[in-house]
């Protein structure tokens, strides 16, 4: 995780009271999210779909794993 992203993670943890360890991104998770962002931008036809999709995935992640959610998104492409 780069410095800026680590600082953003720490700020989110401080603001929400969520343990920063819960907000760690593994390399595999980062790769999955970047792939989903690529799908959203290219298949969805608008670059602005990428951050919005990642937000939606984050909102849904409390009920499903990232891999399950990625599979659902990939089924739309």
List pLDDT tens digits, range 13-67: 999 999 999 999 999 999 999 999 999 999 988 899 999 999 999 999 888 999 9
Distance between CA atoms of 32 and 27, rounded to whole angstroms?
9
Distance between CA atoms of 77 and 16, rounded to whole angstroms?
34
Q: Which of 38, 16, 12 lies closest to 1 in space, CA to CA?
A: 12
List pLDDT tens digits, range 31-41: 999 999 999 99
- Look at residue 62 in the predicted model and tell me its pLDDT: 84
Q: What is this structure's pTM?
A: 0.83
């Amino acid at each position: 995780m780069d410095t800026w992203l680590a600082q953003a993670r720490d700020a989110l943890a401080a603001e929400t009271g969520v343990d920063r360890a819960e907000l760690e991104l593994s390399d595999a998770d980062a790769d999955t999210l970047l792939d989903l962002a690529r799908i959203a931008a290219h298949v969805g036809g608008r670059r602005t779909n990428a951050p919005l999709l990642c937000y939606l995935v984050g909102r849904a992640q409390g009920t499903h794993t990232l891999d399950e959610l990625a599979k659902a998104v990939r089924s739309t492409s």
